[in-house]
Structure 1
């Protein structure tokens, strides 16, 4: 069985790797470290298919170290000890470079097994992860390693890899491969920065291409057909999930309906209805808030409708709600106020509840000033009377500040008049 094209065409030198210019250009730190031949323990962080494994292989080759690969999803502590047993043998005369893919799946005990050997330099660890290492890797490993973040490869760089892949397959199959204008660009755009995915698409396009006079024709339509769903990079438990949700909410907060609808569409295609509904409700309350308080029940009704009808029809009330949130005036005054109040509580700024607000029904004999002295606001003009509501220790604290929008400015004007007249 032939290896996938991505493996057959794996780069053999640093200059062959596409993308990652921020790490591998001649003047960048990681490139200089590799060229020095003195390799520290490193963690490669980034999405799949962008060169992490390839780079580890090239590093091992450049430093004449024996490369051992383990995967965190399948490797055990016994596998680690088997690698350690190769130290100081003919199998690893210059030391070992251990490439540990998906290290986030290693538990604490497994990661601790590595510590002794990566500390004394007998094993150089290059670990890779698609998840944020500061959340998933234990501090003992992090403190002994340098984190390098890999980024999705830009379309222009992926295009170079796609064109090289077509040339490679042409030589491999010893026949002409003709690629219709725009087909390579479609593949490069649709892979979402994942070079491996682009290589797979190239191979599928060639294998399913039209045959004519001993040549293979890859049409634009075929490229679109084979890559139509490839652009969606989504993992409900991974960083990409939270990145899309973050972009979705920030686009609504920023009043950009086009961007918000784009991220909504990505979430719809992924089928993530609960996350859409939650972020919509949060945004209506947090970002529109008191500037247009009626939006909260409106968005709630749209969310309920979406949950009841399900996809594909759910996209309609969701789109209505997203566009409404984007176009509504914005105020986070209540959001800021409750955050400030919670911060005070967490700091211990609590104080005693004023007596007039307590649930008192009788006074003890030791209280010389009997009575609750609560003033019932409805008994006073405009249903307001001045009295102390906050604990006396916090009597001058102000958590809420009126927002600069028509609704809250009307509230402010109303209460300024009432409270000024009735003092």
Structure 2
């Protein structure tokens, strides 16, 4: 039955055209945007995952920038440390040259002064973005200032996020100069050399006694080496007490038995030969040996130390006598102590430079990893939400053809009502 009121064929054709137009609109949107899932209505689960991962990727991009900034800080510190190592090496060479007899030490010291100024300049200039990793305010040998570089952005299985850092401690083993206001400094280059004073001799050794000219005191462990009254012997140690007395700054006076082996002395007379009287023979240049502080077991812990009054940045080879008077050593030995200490601090600088180099390598590895991770996340998100352009292109062509056919079909359905009109014509 044909009706001019209800055109069922046209209604069917119209519904088909509407469906085709809807599919065509979706396909055109995918082709133009490149996304299969562009909004939450497209696929809520995939859209949620993709949005979260895009957010994390943005955070990783910030991490990559932070790593670049951190790498610049490390590279600046390392370059300065490497230059400082070269300067200290040159200072050591100058000190070795100063051991030659007849060398004008004042001229060599002028060169050392310039090198020491250069060390200060290097340390002060090693700053990037307001941070200097070669100097810090310490104030004690145990103080530490932690520096950090952003290393990664992490989301755990529970969905909790955190930022991980690469840490580096500025302490007495890594900074060149201590910028604290105290007189005692703890940087590698401004920390004064201190000689350990051990409150010990050998096991069961009773340190000594003195003798006046021509007199020898007898004990079970020591004899007088000469009759001058200025030498002391205990278990093979020979000491000239005129030049080997030292004050530790705490009210104690120490007698040097050998390098880094000391015995505490006292200005209170002691009775060494146990006759009840402190004899004149028991006096060492006005000092007396305190046997209670020397007859300790070998290997006892260090009691205190003597500051020799020089650091790498302040040593002065024209003032070796001052060093000798503090450490109870000769001027020649004082120069040797300087060489020894500079070499020790040079090793510490080398170790600090190695630490900086290790962190630099780690940052480079982390940069490479973050870059690869970012690409992987982008790829994973793309698999979830990106449109397959080949497929969408095929769909688009098919839907355009279907649209044309649907329009043609609707046109035919609408024209059928016009055909009824001919029935009423003569």
TM-score range, shorter chain: under 0.3
TM-score under structure 1 normalisation? 0.20
> Whose helix fraction is larger, Structure 1's or Structure 2's?
1
TM-score under structure 2 normalisation? 0.20
